Amino acid sequence: MKRLFMLLWVVFVFSNTATADHIWVHGNCLPGNPQYGVSDVPLLVSDSIVDNWTQIIAGCYGSTFLRSDKKLFQLCPDNQNELCFLMDDIVMVTASGGAYWLVLKTDGTVWGWGDNTDGNLGDGTYNNGRQDPVQALGLSNVKSIAIGAAASYALKEDGTVWAWGAGESGQLGDGNWGCTVFPPVDPADCYLSTVPKQVPYLTDVKALFDGPFIIKNDGTVWGWGPINCITPPDQCCFATTPQQIEGLEDIVSVGDHVALKSDGTVWTWGDNAYGRLGIGTIDPDEDHCYSAVMVPALSNVTWVGRQFAIKADGTLWGWGSHYGLGIPPNGNYAFPTPVQVKPLRNVKLASIFSEGFTDYAMVLAGDYDPVTITNVVPMSSPFRIKLKGTGFLSGLEVYPNTPPVLYVDGTAVDGLEVKLNKKGMLLFKSTPASILKSYFPKNVTKTIQIINPDGRTSNEFQFTR
């Protein structure tokens, strides 16, 4: 088979009273980092890209943003701190990595651009790419769009679902799959459709999600196509027609193999490698292809996505493989039980990109835990200073390793050795010790401040030696 991995994003809108909004990123592909950077904790990015966003689509190859005035933007290729305008009159956007994008316009039509290898843009062609948007043929009155494994989907106002693109793993939901030539030489050697066609026997659909997954009006969840798993591809389970996910009812939202019930509980299915089910165990051989289990540690949840959940109090929680979660590794690089993603508060939007073992997340949050200096303790023989407070990071959780920066009267003190002790206090020292000591003459009041590796700035603390 050509590809069984799935490129997915999850997007969420959450209303709450907030202070100034900020965007945070974490994962193992940080755009603009020449070392293909990795961050185990959320990092603040430039406030220049903060706006009244209704959707954020995170991507290693360019994140996309939909504003409340229905204008679509993307991070500029030559400057990751600037936004480039793409289109207007857009009500929804979804994307498949850096491969291709789909948008739903206000007139109910679907447009796309980018890679069109499997006919996934729906314009009647395949094995090409489009720089400019092209319209998916024959679609109108569309109310939602989604993306799966090299396939595209649309939900029409009449409750029918339409699919196009790759179908070798059952992505089109019509019972067909496979390749006539193996290994395939041309995309058409495998089953595909270059134009949208209705998924048969599927009606009364209320909502459509990436995967694909759908919610029917009776609250049940159905899915088809490949199920991500860590075992060899020929052992992965997939369905060529829509299959009901057992154990799910009264569902209000669906993410990547995760569902939210109206009572605020979270349910998952698929394989349990890296603890992806969130049930407290790690077992790659434990597959729940189309049978859901409840995540016992989560309640009062308002949104779910790929290994993410947002609670009613605005906190973000994650489980499974740690790279896309913003949670430092615990030695096993897996979290089988949900853990809060700090320092984020009042989370409004969350999106995660996943491609194989590459994960990258972007979060819009209205607040965060502060970094506070409460006391400065000087020590001698040799001279060094110890900062007491809250919210300090040692820098060892962020790669490439970037320690906290100490500022004295607004000037950064370079070349310091930094250590975070077990009591959460920061120790700064220099070699020779006279370098740091020169910043603190006796009986002179100095203003001390630090900037954490994640971009948070502490309060200004007055200190007299």
pLDDT in tens, 199-255: 998 999 999 999 999 999 999 999 999 865 444 444 456 789 999 999 999 999 999
* pLDDT tens, residue by residue, 153-200: 999 999 999 999 999 999 999 999 999 888 888 999 999 999 999 999
Instruction: Return the SS3 of 273.
Output: helix
Average predicted confidence (pLDDT) for the chain:
87
Q: How far apart are the first and last CA of the chain?
A: 69
CA distance 110 to 127: 20
The backbone torsions φ and ψ at residue 9, rounded to the nearest 5 degrees and listed phi first, read: -125, 150
Side-chain-side CA neighbours of 301 within 13 Å: the count stands at: 32
**Residue 300 · residue 285 · CB < 8 Å:** no
Q: What is the separation of C-alpha 429 from the centre of its chain, rounded to a whole number of angstroms? A: 38
Residue 157 burial by CB count (10 A; 0-12/13-18/19+): exposed, middle or buried? exposed
Helix (H) or strand (E) holding 434: helix 434-437
Question: pLDDT of 60-94, one tens digit each?
Answer: 777 999 999 999 999 888 887 889 999 999 999 99
User: Which residues on adjacent β-strands are paired with residue 205?
Assistant: 216
What DSSP assignment string belongs to 60-87?
TT--EEEETTS-EEEEETTEEEEEEEEE
Across 252-281, average pLDDT: 93
- Structural domains in the chain, CATH included, are 22-368 (2.130.10.30), 372-464 (2.60.40)
The count of C-alpha atoms lying within 13 angstroms of the C-alpha of 67, restricted to the half-sphere facing its C-beta, is 15
